[in-house]
Amino acid sequence: MSRIAHRRLLAGIAALLFGMAPLPAMSQEPLWELGIGIGGLQFPHYRGSSESELIALPIPYWVYRGDRLKADRDGVRSLLFTSERMEINISADGAFPVNDEENGREGMDDLAPLIELGPSLNISLWEQGDRTRYLELRFPVRGAFSVDSGPRIDQEGWTFAPNIYWVDNAAGFSGRWRRTATLGPIFADQGFHDYFYTVGEDDVRPGRPEFRASGGYSGARFSASSARRFQNYWLGAFFRYDNLKGAEFSDSPLVERDHSFLFGFGFSWIFAESSRSVPYRR
């Protein structure tokens, strides 16, 4: 895959991670909004790598408030079922491409960009007021697909990441910032772990013995974000921490650290919006 195509996929994955979105809606909001901006992203070459990369990326800002398809403060998703306390939607995540330079995978095949898609059951545990603050329990199950040149798409396994999701939309002394936090374990099958952490016979080198990954516990994750809409501008930042202690692949020679950090920030200018407004629930 070309470097330009990789950059486009990076921007798309970054948009998923940022969850680009405006402040919580009060009643009527435009059906869609469009914008463009720039962001900075610091990410490990892979979870457990001792090497990381800092890049600048264009960050697309897009919001769509349809009845079933939504792209908003909670990312891109498709609502399959919704009730007062529960919803089922299509959720997404992703991982960045990795080459074999300057990391534990030197001499091994490059890792293509990874897109994760699948259903998520979200259960409301608590909410305050008109959802100015709320707490949810989420159960996302996602299939992982690598996207290589061609484009070639391969299924690389499955992940299950139950988590507690907290949101605070309440106005404070510094204005109305939207703050979120997520905490939970990650589980994955053998195919997913194999993609990142298996070392085959042909890839054995001094200090990198053969290793076969198995499925199971994949570590724990904490993430937090803060964002605010200023008229036609949006500002946001996020942070993600992965702890790999006890993971099924922790003995892989490719795991150089038992933790990983990812963080980024973005700024967008919103230049267009729909003339049609729709009722929008926080």
Which tens digits make up the pLDDT trace of 243-279? 999 999 999 999 999 999 999 999 999 999 988 888 7
Q: Is the pLDDT of residue 93 over 60?
A: yes
Q: Is the pLDDT of residue 75 over 80?
A: no
Which CATH entry fits the domain spanning 3-279: 3.40.1710, 2.40.230, 3.30.1600, 2.60.40? 2.40.230
- The predicted-structure confidence for 206-227, as pLDDT tens digits, reads as follows 999 999 999 999 999 999 999 9
Predicted local distance difference test score (pLDDT) of residue 142 = 97
Residues 275, 276, 279, 282: is their CA dihedral positive or negative? negative
The tokens describing 274, both together, are 């729909």
pLDDT category of residue 50 using cuts at 50, 70 and 90 = very high
- The predicted-structure confidence for 124-169, as pLDDT tens digits, reads as follows 999 987 778 899 999 999 999 998 866 788 999 999 999 999 999 8
* Angstrom distance (rounded) from CA 73 to CA 19: 5
Of 39-43, 172-176, 192-196, minimum mean pLDDT range: 172-176
pLDDT category of residue 235 using cuts at 50, 70 and 90 = very high
Q: What angle do CA 235, 239, 244 make, to 5 degrees?
A: 165
pLDDT category of residue 170 using cuts at 50, 70 and 90 = confident
For 238, phi then psi, to 5°, come to -145, 165
pLDDT category of residue 30 using cuts at 50, 70 and 90 = confident
Collect all residues with Cβ–Cβ distance below 8 Å to 45 and sequence separation of at least 6: 51, 52, 53, 98, 103, 105
Is the model more confident about 25 or about 129?
129
The tokens describing 71, both together, are 């792209």
Q: Domains of the chain: which residue ranges?
A: 3-279
What number is the average pLDDT over the span 232-247?
95
The tokens describing 279, both together, are 């009722």
Q: For the chain, how many residues are written?
A: 282
